[in-house]
Amino acid sequence: MGQQSSPKRPWLAAGLTLLVTGLGQVYLRRWLRALGWVGLAILVGTVVVPEPALADPSSATVREVVPLAGVALLSSLDAYVLARQHNYRLEAESVDRCPDCYRELERELSFCPWCATELSGSAETDRQRSPERSDDGRP
Ligand SMILES: [Zn+2]
């Protein structure tokens, strides 16, 4: 679907997971991770939280819902970190590299600062390589 390589919004992932445990991980296409968090939430819900509190959440005490809230917060944090890592990896892959020494390059340079290889017409070839990327960096 081509969604895999699009940047993700960390706060959206975290918010989705706060609403429904594992939803942020689904948004990030980390299916097993989503299942794991849902499983953990169910486990904590059945083992730690007393049944009357589950049947009628309005009657539950703070102490009874704290474990589930903890799982929700942790999974939300997990989704946030995953999204950040995903974006960081995307950014790392989109970095220009010297064809000679493969080190990172600044886009506007006409030569490699590491090995002094000339990068003839780098701006032109760059545009041809990724036509969907405009000059201001917006998709
Ligand atoms: Zn180089």
Model confidence at 36, pLDDT cuts 50, 70, 90, reads very high
Distance 54 CA to ligand 1 centre (A): 62
Give the residue numbers spanning the domain of 48: 1-94
- Tell whether 52 and 112 lie within a shared domain: no
Distance 103 CA to ligand 1 centre (A): 6
- Tell whether 100 and 126 lie within a shared domain: yes
Provide CB contacts within 8 A for 99, sequence distance 6+.
Answer: 117, 119
Domain total in the chain = 2
- Tell whether 63 and 42 lie within a shared domain: yes
Q: Which of 103, 111, 114, 33 is nearest to 75 (CA)?
A: 33
- Tell whether 42 and 63 lie within a shared domain: yes
Distance 113 CA to ligand 1 centre (A): 7
User: What is the predicted pLDDT for the residue at 95?
Assistant: 79
pLDDT in tens, 84-139: 999 988 887 787 888 889 888 887 888 899 999 888 754 444 445 555 554 555 55
Q: How far apart are CA 15 and CA 9, in angstroms?
A: 10
* Residue 97 DSSP code: B
Q: Which residues surround ligand 1, an ion (CB under 5 A)?
A: 98, 100-101, 112, 114-115, 117
- Tell whether 65 and 17 lie within a shared domain: yes
- Tell whether 8 and 41 lie within a shared domain: yes
- Tell whether 85 and 118 lie within a shared domain: no
Distance 20 CA to ligand 1 centre (A): 48
User: What is the predicted pLDDT for the residue at 136?
Assistant: 57
In a 13 Å sphere around the CA of 25, the CA atoms on its Cβ side amount to: 18
The structure tokens listed for 8 are 């993700």
- Do residues 65 and 53 lie in contact, with contact meaning Cβ atoms separated by under 8 Å? yes
- Tell whether 56 and 81 lie within a shared domain: yes
The structure tokens listed for 16 are 């989705």
Q: How far apart are CA 129 and CA 8, in angstroms?
A: 23
- Do residues 16 and 23 lie in contact, with contact meaning Cβ atoms separated by under 8 Å? yes
Distance 116 CA to ligand 1 centre (A): 6
- Tell whether 73 and 25 lie within a shared domain: yes
Q: Does the pLDDT value for residue 12 go beyond 90?
A: yes
Q: Does the pLDDT value for residue 74 go beyond 80?
A: yes
User: What is the predicted pLDDT for the residue at 1?
Assistant: 41
- Tell whether 89 and 64 lie within a shared domain: yes
- Tell whether 105 and 135 lie within a shared domain: yes
Q: How far apart are CA 15 and CA 38, in angstroms?
A: 15
Distance 118 CA to ligand 1 centre (A): 9
The structure tokens listed for 58 are 């309005």
- Tell whether 122 and 75 lie within a shared domain: no
3-state class (DSSP) for residue 24? helix
